Amino acid sequence: MTSSDHDQPGTEAQNTEQEGQKRELKRAPLNVDSLLWRYGADGRIQLMRGYTGILQNMHPAIGQALLDHSKFFEEPFARLERSTPQIIASMYTPDDELSHRIRDYHINIKGKLRDGSRYHSMDPDTYWWAHATFVYRVIRTQDLFGTPFTAEEREQVVQEGVTWWEKYGMSNRPVIDNYQGLVDYLEEMTNTVLERNETVDFALRTARVEPVKAPDNVSPLVWKVIWKPVMRSLIWMTVGTLEQSQRDILQVSWSKRDQKRFDRVCNVIRKVWPKLSLKARYMNPGRDEMIKHGMFDENDQLKPIGTIR
């Protein structure tokens, strides 16, 4: 999805809609009682990094932007290590400075798609796609590895996602403020926009057989020994988190045997996760923010909603 007449990046045009055309969106606050604060730093989201990465990169504009402007192919782990903590932190920060900084990283990311049409990462439709996958990831993480949200909680997560989006100062034109609308949007994007491209082929195929640069906290010597089983396991896990319709686009196989094995892994994670330490259960920078705001009791368990002061 591309645009040659998107809102001008970094200007007030992104912050407000034209007079008389403002949308009445349903929003929910981001605070100690919000679900995004409670689950946005859940360590199980680490297992979903590939999920959001693949879905985002299947978008023609985002996939092309990585080809044109990123070192993704040289150091894929470094890109995740740079971007993910900032995105998580933006949910917890009281002001919009960090969100605006994240947004402005994309100002000069533009070019042409393979068909010659123009793309710009500041196009609200493209930016919203990336944001929507981050919001939905919180829900899908619990569906797969935790306790699924209730219908009311799903609505709340999506409405908190609206508040999170508005911290970026982008146009509200593409925003969806209800759970069913978000599910329908993800399905429509899968059916009409997402594609198999060079970026996702690298992530799902090339990285299985050709070594990539080690993560920052792993010795190159150790990585030389473990990279192949690690990458194959990560790719298998990523494929498991996708919908079958998305696997079909990517032309990746997923058998009944794979699904049974994946279900067993999910069950193990679901049982083991509550027994882990606080540091293992929650990622930084969200974990430190949760501690600072007194969201855990003396047993390192989340306090009930409505009891945190």
Cross-strand partners of 110:
120
> CA nearest 68: which of 8, 107, 112, 104?
112
d(CA 132, CA 179) in angstroms, rounded, equals 11
203 and 63 in contact (C-beta within 8 Å)?
A: no
Coil, strand or helix: which one is 302? strand
Residue 72 reports pLDDT greater than 80: no
Q: Please give the model's pTM, rounded to 2 decimal places.
A: 0.89
d(CA 195, CA 190) in angstroms, rounded, equals 8
pLDDT at 78 (0 to 100) = 63
What pLDDT digit, counting tens, does each position of 10-30 carry?
Answer: 444 344 444 334 678 999 999
Average pLDDT of the residues in 240-256: 97
Coil, strand or helix: which one is 260? helix
What pLDDT digit, counting tens, does each position of 186-213 carry?
Answer: 999 999 999 999 999 988 887 777 878 8
pLDDT at 20 (0 to 100) = 34
Q: What percent of the chain has pLDDT over 90?
A: 70
205-215 per-residue burial string, b: 16 or more CB within 10 A, e: under 16: eebeeeebbbe
Average pLDDT of the residues in 60-87: 79
What pLDDT digit, counting tens, does each position of 208-230 carry?
Answer: 778 788 787 888 899 888 888 98
Residue type, 72: F
pLDDT at 17 (0 to 100) = 45
